[in-house]
C-alpha cells in the first residue's frame, strides 16, 4: 500500500485511506521503538533537511529523532543561524539546500501556505508540513489520532472537544479535518471571540461556549494553548479570567461525574488553559502524545520517502 500523495501538506486534502495507512504503519514503528535496538535501516541514503523558520521544541526534536531512528542523514536549519537574516528568499534558500542533493524537506514556517509554495516549486522533493502559520499541523493531528485510538479505540463515533484558542490554532484545524474524516464527532468550546463564526457551517462541528457542558458531552478533551503571539487585538480580558472560565481544573473535571481523556499538544501553560494537577493526572495522555509523535513521524517519513518495498 502506498500513499496517494507525494507531500504531506495538510489533512484537508488527505484521503481517509492515507490516514489509516499512516496510523497502521506508525503502530509498527511504535513496536520497533520498544525494542532494545530502536534503529532500522529504512531511510539509509535518504537525506532530510529540517527547515524550522519558527520556534519549536517537541516537533523539531521528534522529527529529528524519527529521521535518526530510520537511519536517514539529517541537516538542521534554524533561521537565527542562517542567511535568512541576510535577506535571502525562502525559494533561494531551499534551491541552495537542494543543490546539495537533499531528498525530503520538513518545514515549519510562520506563514500559512509556505510548504504549499515549496511543493509547487519543488515537485520532486517530498515536503512535510511541520506547522504553517495558523493553517495546519498535520503530523500533530495524526499523533493525536493515534494517541486517542491507543487509549480508547477506533475514532469512529467518538466525541472529541477542542478547547480554547481555536481561531489561531493550526492544531485545531488539522484535528477537525482528521477527526471528521475518520467518523468522530467534533465540538469546539472556548470564548466566542476565539471561535470563528464560520466554524459550525464550514467545518461541520458543534460549538458549545459552556465548557462544563462540552466536557460532559465528550470522551476526549484536547486543550489548546492561547496563541498570544498570533493575537493582534485583545480577545479576552486577562489570562486569570480565561483560566477561571475556560481553564481545565480538577474541580471542574470532578463536577462532570465521568472520566474523560485529557490531551494537549504542548507547550502547556500551567495555570492558564490547564491546571498542573490535571496536566499531571492519570487522565492526561500529554506525554504519551509526545512519545507517539516519533512513531507517527517515522511512518510519514517512511511512506513519503519512496523507499517502501525496496
Ligand atoms: C503546537 C504548534 O506549534 O502549533 N505545538 C506543537 O507543535 N506541539 C501548539 C502550540 O504551539 O500551542
> 90-106 b/e with 16+ CB inside 10 Å = b?
beebbeebbeeebbbbb
What is the reported pTM?
A: 0.96
> How would you classify the pairing of strands 73-78 and 220-223?
unpaired
Question: Can you list the domains of the chain with their CATH numbers?
Answer: 16-136+291-305 (3.40.50.1370), 138-289 (3.40.50.1370)
pLDDT of residue 229: 84
Cα 169 to middle of ligand 1, angstroms: 8
The low-confidence residues of the chain, meaning pLDDT below 50, are 309-310
CB 126 within 8 A of CB 104: yes
- Judged by DSSP in three states, 225 sits in coil
Ligand 1: atom nearest CA of 131 is 4
127-145 tens-digit pLDDT: 999 999 999 999 999 999 9
Which segments of 112-265 does DSSP mark as H helices, in order?
Answer: 114-121, 138-152, 170-181, 199-203, 211-217, 239-246, 250-255
> How would you classify the pairing of strands 159-163 and 104-109?
unpaired
Q: How far apart (Å, rounded) are the C-alpha atoms in residues 54 and 106?
A: 12
Owner of C-alpha cell 487585538: 233
pLDDT of residue 82: 67
pLDDT of residue 310: 46
C-alpha cell at 295: 512513531
For ligand 1, is residue 190 a contact (CB within 6 Å)? Answer: no
CB 276 within 8 A of CB 270: yes
pLDDT of residue 308: 55
Cα 106 to middle of ligand 1, angstroms: 15
pLDDT of residue 43: 97
Does a cis peptide bond (omega within 30 degrees of 0) precede residue 184? no
Which segments of the chain does DSSP mark as H helices, in order?
Answer: 16-33, 58-69, 90-98, 114-121, 138-152, 170-181, 199-203, 211-217, 239-246, 250-255, 276-279, 286-304
- Pocket of ligand 1, candidates 135, 140, 285: which has the most ligand atoms within 8 Å of its Cβ, to mutate? 140
- Judged by DSSP in three states, 220 sits in strand
CB 303 within 8 A of CB 3: yes
- CA distances to 78, 96, 268 from 64, rounded to whole Å, are 13, 21, 22
For ligand 1, is residue 58 a contact (CB within 6 Å)? Answer: yes
- Pocket of ligand 1, candidates 52, 171, 264, 296: which has the most ligand atoms within 8 Å of its Cβ, to mutate? 171
Cα 9 to middle of ligand 1, angstroms: 16
Amino acid at each position: 500500500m502506498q500513499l496517494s500523495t507525494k507531500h504531506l501538506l495538510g489533512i484537508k486534502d488527505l484521503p481517509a485511506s492515507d490516514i489509516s495507512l499512516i496510523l497502521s504503519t506508525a503502530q509498527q514503528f511504535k513496536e520497533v521503538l520498544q525494542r532494545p535496538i530502536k534503529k532500522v535501516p529504512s531511510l539509509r541514503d535518504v537525506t532530510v533537511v529540517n527547515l524550522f523558520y519558527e520556534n519549536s521544541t517537541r516537533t523539531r526534536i521528534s522529527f529529528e529523532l524519527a529521521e535518526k531512528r530510520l537511519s536517514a542523514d539529517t541537516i538542521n536549519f534554524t533561521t537565527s543561524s542562517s542567511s535568512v537574516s541576510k535577506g535571502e528568499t525562502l525559494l533561494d534558500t531551499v534551491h541552495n539546500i537542494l543543490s546539495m542533493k537533499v531528498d525530503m524537506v520538513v518545514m515549519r514556517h510562520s506563514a500559512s501556505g509556505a510548504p504549499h509554495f515549496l511543493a509547487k516549486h519543488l515537485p520532486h522533493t517530498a515536503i512535510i508540513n511541520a506547522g504553517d502559520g495558523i493553517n495546519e499541523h498535520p503530523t500533530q493531528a495524526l499523533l493525536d489520532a493515534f494517541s486517542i485510538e491507543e487509549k480508547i479505540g477506533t475514532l469512529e463515533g467518538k466525541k472529541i472537544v477542542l478547547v480554547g484558542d481555536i481561531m489561531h490554532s493550526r492544531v485545531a484545524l488539522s484535528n477537525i479535518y482528521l477527526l471528521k474524516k475518520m467518523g468522530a464527532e467534533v465540538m469546539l468550546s472556548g470564548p466566542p471571540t476565539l471561535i470563528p463564526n464560520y466554524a459550525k457551517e464550514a467545518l461541520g462541528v458543534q460549538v458549545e461556549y459552556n465548557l462544563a457542558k462540552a466536557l460532559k458531552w465528550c470522551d476526549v478533551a484536547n486543550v489548546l494553548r492561547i496563541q498570544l503571539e498570533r493575537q493582534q487585538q485583545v480577545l479576552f480580558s486577562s489570562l486569570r479570567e480565561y483560566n477561571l472560565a475556560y481553564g481545565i481544573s480538577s474541580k471542574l473535571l470532578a463536577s462532570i461525574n465521568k472520566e474523560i481523556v485529557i490531551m494537549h499538544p504542548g507547550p502547556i501553560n500551567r495555570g492558564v488553559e490547564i491546571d498542573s494537577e490535571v496536566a499531571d493526572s492519570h487522565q492526561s495522555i500529554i506525554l504519551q502524545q509526545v512519545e507517539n509523535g516519533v512513531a507517527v513521524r517515522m511512518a510519514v517519513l517512511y511512506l513519503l520517502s519512496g523507499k517502501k518495498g525496496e
